Amino acid sequence: MLEEFGMQNCSSVKTPLPTRDLSDFSESDSATDASMYRSIIGKLIYAANCARPDLAVAVSFLCRYMQNPKSIHMEAAKHTLRYLKGTAELGLEYRAQKVYKLVGYSDADYAQDKQDRKSFTGPASSSVESEYMSLSDASKECFWINQLLSLCKIPVPLPVTMFEDNQGCIALAQNPVFHRRTKHIDVRYHVVRHYIRSGVIHLEYLDTQVMLADMFTKNLGRVKFETLRGLLGMKAVGDSATRGGVEHAMLSQTSAVDNAREFGWETMVDNF
Whether the per-residue pLDDT at 266 is higher than 80: the answer is no
Residues 132 and 177 in one domain: yes
**pLDDT band at 188; cut points 50, 70, 90:** confident
Same domain, 231 and 257: yes
Is 80 exceeded by the pLDDT of residue 203?
Answer: yes
The answer to whether residues 40 and 133 belong to one domain is no
Range of the domain at 10: 1-88
- For residues 84 and 97, membership in a common domain is answered with no
Whether residue 80 is found in the same domain as residue 108: no
- More confident of the two residues 265 and 64: 64
pLDDT at 246 over 50: no
Among the candidates 88, 114, 130, a domain finishes at: 88
153 with 262, same domain: the answer is yes
Task: State whether 33 and 103 are in the same domain.
Answer: no
pLDDT of residue 255: 52
77 and 159 in a common domain? no
For 10-53, the DSSP string reads PPP-SSSS-SS-TT---TTSPB--HHHHHHHHHHHHHHHHHT-G
- C-alpha to C-alpha distances, 38 to 43, 55, 115, nearest whole angstrom: 9, 16, 22
Q: What is the pLDDT of residue 156?
A: 86
Cα 78 versus chain centre, distance? 20
Higher-scoring residue by pLDDT: 245, 146: 146
Q: What is the pLDDT of residue 200?
A: 93
**Interval 239-245 mean pLDDT:** 44
Q: Are residues 64 and 99 in the same domain?
A: no
Burial of 70 (0-12, 13-18, 19+ CB in 10 A): buried
pLDDT attached to residue 17 = 94
The average pLDDT across 79-101 equals 88
pLDDT tens per residue across span 8-18: 999 999 999 99
The verdict on 64 and 161 lying in the same domain is no
Q: Name beta bridge partners: 203.
A: 162
Cβ pair 203, 142 in contact under 8 A: no
The predicted structure's pLDDT at residue 265: 53
Q: Is the pTM of this model over 0.85?
A: no
Report the chain's mean pLDDT, rounded to a whole number: 83
CA distance 52 to 40: 15
Q: What does the pLDDT read at residue 25? A: 72
* Last residue in a domain, options 59, 88, 117: 88
Domain endpoint, select from 54, 88, 122: 88
The confidence score (pLDDT) of residue 175 equals 77
The number of folded domains in the chain is 2
pLDDT in tens, 29-75: 788 999 999 999 999 999 999 889 999 999 999 998 999 899 999 99
- The DSSP-derived string for 217-255 is TS---HHHHHHHHHHHTEEE-STTS-HHHHHHHHHHHHH
Place 254 in a pLDDT band, splitting at 50, 70 and 90: low
Q: What is the pLDDT of residue 239?
A: 53
Tell me if 61 sits within 8 A of 44, measured CB to CB.
no
Q: What is the CATH number of the domain that holds 197?
A: 3.30.420
